[in-house]
Amino acid sequence: MPPLSTMKAIVTEKTGGPEVLEVRAHHPVPTAGEGQLLVKNQTIGINYIDTYFRTGLYPSTKPEILGREAVGTVVGVGPGANPYNFKVGDRVAWLSTGSYAEYTAVPQAKTVKVPDELSDEDVLGSFLSGLTVLSLAKETYPVQKGDWVLLHAAAGGAGFLMTQILKSIGATVIGTAGGPEKVELVKSLGADYVIDYRSEEGKDWVKQVKEITHGRGVDVVYDSVGKDTWEGSLEAVKRKGTIVWFGNASGPVPPLPLPKLSPKCVKVARPTLFGYIETREEFEFYVNELFNLLKSGDLKVKIHKVYPLDQVAQAHSDLEGRKTTGKLLLKA
């Protein structure tokens, strides 16, 4: 157990902007219940989904501690069965809730031991977002060599990883990004075409996709932007193509009239990672895939910045202001 009964934590009492993220210096340390571990967090991942719970786009009970992933050290094992043989001192990565804190009680079933050769930054630069994009490319729409793929926000935390994974499969990738610096970054990852949606020409990115594909459209669109891109994604996809919506960076996709899908026989999906890793076997399958890609060097991570825990409001502001490329982390 930790030596102290209180900890630093970021508590959200109400929905709103980054200012609702309150630093609490003496928040109670949780207790590991049955099937749980108490983890002292060292490095914490920030994900766009955290902003959805903060603003209320995704409903959640307040007050709450945001954050869905961290790497840290096991300091306590809850009572009952310990099927995965965790012990105090293990370095672990976990997916759950409540990571914006020095300590979190987390489910054993969504916790894994971290190989010594992987750094905290390697793991959290790719953990929740890497597992997400692997499941999107393998299950939501199983990408095949030669497929044409349109990937929105290709320089973001998920897009940076997905560009690499799509190219490793052998897809032809059209990425969108905002500004010359992000465009160059996506090109460096191997994307075949990159559209700067902030440029005059790139504002009509649908026209550019049509020109690149000689009017055919793409096999699949991976769209984490949402409100600003959903109609264009429907235009850019080919007949009998697929659109995967997996984020709301500009706001949610509005209610979709199903007849809009009819002219091109379009298939749509709105998956969530946790639907693909519900069982321990599924979770371990994707974690092993991810860790093997990291250990081999076939998947590179990009850390935008590591913020102190009490600067999480600034981190949220930077993320929502589209001032970032790659992953934002916190140090507990």
Per-residue pLDDT reduced to its tens digit, 42-88: 999 999 999 999 999 999 999 999 999 999 999 999 999 999 999 99
At the topology level of CATH, where does 6-125+301-331 sit?
Quinone Oxidoreductase; Chain A, domain 1 (3.90.180)
Q: Average pLDDT in the 144-162 region?
A: 95
* pLDDT of res. 157: 87
Q: Average pLDDT in the 286-296 region?
A: 97
Partners of residue 23 on adjacent β-strands: 10
* pLDDT of res. 322: 82
Q: How confident is the model at residue 323 (pLDDT cuts 50, 70, 90)?
A: confident
Q: Is 17 helix (H, G, I), strand (E, B) or coil?
A: coil
Token code pair at residue 280:
């321990």
At 214-243, the pLDDT tens digits run 999 999 999 999 999 999 999 999 999 999
Position 36 pLDDT exceeds 90: yes
Query: In whole numbers, what is the pLDDT of the chain averaged over residues?
Result: 96
Cis peptide before 308 (omega within 30 of 0): no
* pLDDT of res. 3: 58
Q: Average pLDDT in the 289-298 region?
A: 96
Residue ranges of the chain that CATH labels 3.90.180.10: 6-125+301-331
Task: Please give the Cα distance from 24 to 63 (Å, whole number).
Answer: 12
Q: Average pLDDT in the 310-321 region?
A: 96
* pLDDT of res. 182: 93
- CA distances to 15, 97, 282 from 62, rounded to whole Å, are 8, 13, 31
Please compute, for residue 166, the number of CA atoms within 13 A of its CA located in the half-sphere on the CB side: 31
Beta strands in the chain (DSSP E): 6-12, 21-28, 36-46, 69-77, 91-95, 103-107, 111-113, 148-151, 172-177, 193-196, 218-223, 237-245, 267-269, 303-308, 327-331
At 188-197, the pLDDT tens digits run 999 999 999 9
Residue ranges of the chain that CATH labels 3.40.50.720: 129-274
Please compute, for residue 291, the number of CA atoms within 13 A of its CA located in the half-sphere on the CB side: 17
Task: Please give the Cα distance from 165 to 237 (Å, whole number).
Answer: 20
At the topology level of CATH, where does 129-274 sit?
Rossmann fold (3.40.50)
At 119-145, the pLDDT tens digits run 999 999 999 999 999 999 999 999 999
* pLDDT of res. 187: 97
Q: What are phi and psi of 276, to 5 degrees?
A: -95, -15
Do 125 and 150 touch, CB atoms closer than 8 A?
no
Q: How confident is the model at residue 284 (pLDDT cuts 50, 70, 90)?
A: very high
Q: What are phi and psi of 307, to 5 degrees?
A: -100, 145
